[in-house]
């Protein structure tokens, strides 16, 4: 960022730091490149906005959390050198990182190569876990707070109060995070834990892998609603060349229920690393569209992956006909009726073939399964079960293989079922 020629602080000295140039501006204030005159050390000096500094509550919290942040020592956490007040001006002196932040890199490059994305987020995950062990939650993990210098990644703004801005949310006057990366419990004002940072790191990982934020919507309200109510997005839908295993990793990291997420950031990144290592070399180009004999595209690239089908509580006849109809063209799993919801949450299938109506409502209500197509296979001779209303299609027993194929082609497409 270019220096502001009208910035009267440039050239002045605050707490022994000579301000050389302005390098950034945020909700809390302005960040300068500064030089400590006695220690001969370059630092990033954050000068807190005057209206914030006038608040006694803010000053008390700033002082308390600055002390906690200064006590953190980790290779991937920007070191806090000093914090205090001079002539009514609050300041925070930090390690100066020569490089750029991850937000600017993603804005320029679009996305990172998978191995690089894993490496960057692994370093940040290690930093978060180290802080969590000290009882400190970041609350605002986002690309703008990740600084990149060569192959090294650093997490900044750790544990410090964030100010309300155009892309932040606040509860009871306390800002809890930036909306594109914020955990549902932060939005709702519930207890924030280490797993809230796990959620945010999962959002950052998704952005690094795909070049897109998890929930890109037209308004802030729509983004917030998506975090609260919509299922986690699948990286493979944005970049079909990515292994499907990333879908499962992101689904767990972004689970609405904190107890069902990865318990630590290291656990999240170990799972992501296992996916990229098991996949081998990954192409950085999109696969070509499949074409008909006339050369016209048959489907979008994002639909190139194999469909997922879950058979839940179906009888032996339905199971056999489904295997014949679908063959090896889909990834098929089976589960008993009692375990159908858990199996669907784990597999996140495109289609669930159900042998009972009891589970339809639960599948439609769960954020991770509500988008799956539901085919209900039941005996309707005694009348329709009102609980079946949420199913996309019904098939009454007994039925022929052709009848099942017609339903499957309608729900999955002709290519999944075959001729």
User: Which residues are part of the catalytic machinery?
Assistant: 140
Q: Is 46 annotated as a binding residue?
A: yes
**Residue matched to tokens 């609980």:** 387
Separation CA 193–CA 261 (nearest Å): 12
Angle between helices 114-133 and 194-210 (to 10 degrees): 170
SS3 per-residue string spanning 249-270: HHHHHCCCCHHHCCCCHHHHHH
Long-range contacts at 331-338 (CB < 8 A, ≥ 24 apart): 331/306, 331/307, 332/308, 333/308, 333/309, 334/310, 335/310, 335/311, 336/312, 337/312, 337/313, 338/313
Structure tokens at 258: 């904190």
Q: Which candidate, 165, 367, 185, places its Cα nearest to that of 258?
A: 185
What residues pair up with 118 in beta bridges, in sequence order? Answer: none
Residue 387, token pair as written in the block: 């609980």
Burial of residue 40 (CB within 10 Å: 0-12, 13-18, 19+) is: exposed
Write phi, then psi, for 363 (nearest 5 degrees): -65, -40
Q: Which DSSP category does 77 fall into?
A: B
Dihedral angle of Cα 167, 174, 28, 15, to the nearest 10 degrees: -160
User: DSSP string of 11-33?
Assistant: T-EETTEEEEEEEEE-SSEEEEE
Q: What is the CA radius of gyration of the chain?
A: 26
**Rounded Cα gap, residues 202 and 262, in angstroms:** 10
8 Å CB contact between 33 and 21: yes
Percent helix, strand, coil in the chain, to 5, is: 40, 20, 40
CB proximity list for 124: less than 8 A, separation 6 or greater? 76, 141, 146, 153, 155, 201, 204, 265
C-alpha distances in angstroms, 267 versus 110, 169, 357, 405? Answer: 26, 28, 37, 41
Sequence ranges of the binding site: 46
Sequence ranges of the binding site for ATP: 46
């Amino acid at each position: 960022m270019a220096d502001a020629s009208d910035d009267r602080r440039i050239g002045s000295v605050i707490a022994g730091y000579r301000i050389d140039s302005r390098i950034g501006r945020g909700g809390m204030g302005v960040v300068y490149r500064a030089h400590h005159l006695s220690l001969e050390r370059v630092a990033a000096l954050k000068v807190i906005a005057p209206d914030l500094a006038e608040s006694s509550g803010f000053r008390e919290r700033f002082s308390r959390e600055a002390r906690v942040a200064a006590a953190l020592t980790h290779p991937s956490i920007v070191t806090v050198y000093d914090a205090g007040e001079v002539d009514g001006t609050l300041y925070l002196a930090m390690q100066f990182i020569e490089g750029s932040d991850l937000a600017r890199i993603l804005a320029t490059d679009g996305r990172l190569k998978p191995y690089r994305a894993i490496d960057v987020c692994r370093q940040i995950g290690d930093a978060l876990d180290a802080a969590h062990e000290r009882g400190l939650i970041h609350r605002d993990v986002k690309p703008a707070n990740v600084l990149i210098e060569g192959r090294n990644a650093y997490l900044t703004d750790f544990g410090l109060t964030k100010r309300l801005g155009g892309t932040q949310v606040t509860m009871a006057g306390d800002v809890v995070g930036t909306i594109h990366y914020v955990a549902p419990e932060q939005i709702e004002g519930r207890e924030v834990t280490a797993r809230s940072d796990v959620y945010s790191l999962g959002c950052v990982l998704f952005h690094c892998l795909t070049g897109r934020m998890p929930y890109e919507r037209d308004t802030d309200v729509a983004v917030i609603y998506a975090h609260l109510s919509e299922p986690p997005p699948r990286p493979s839908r944005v970049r079909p060349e990515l292994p499907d295993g990333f879908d499962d990793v992101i689904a767990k990291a972004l689970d609405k229920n904190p107890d069902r997420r990865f318990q630590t950031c290291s656990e999240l990144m170990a799972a992501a690393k296992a996916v990229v290592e098991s996949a081998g070399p990954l192409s950085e180009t999109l696969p070509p569209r499949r074409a008909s004999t006339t050369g016209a595209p048959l489907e979008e690239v994002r639909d190139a992956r194999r469909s997922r089908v879950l058979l839940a509580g179906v009888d032996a006849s339905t199971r056999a006909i489904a295997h014949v109809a679908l063959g090896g063209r889909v990834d098929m799993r089976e589960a008993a009726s009692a375990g159908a919801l858990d199996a669907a949450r784990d597999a996140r299938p495109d289609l669930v073939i159900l042998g009972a109506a009891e589970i339809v409502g639960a599948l439609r209500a769960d954020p991770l399964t509500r988008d799956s197509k539901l085919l209900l296979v039941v005996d309707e001779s005694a009348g329709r079960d009102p609980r079946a209303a949420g199913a996309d299609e019904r098939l009454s027993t007994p039925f022929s293989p052709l009848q099942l194929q017609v339903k499957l082609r309608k729900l999955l497409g002709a290519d999944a079922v075959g001729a």
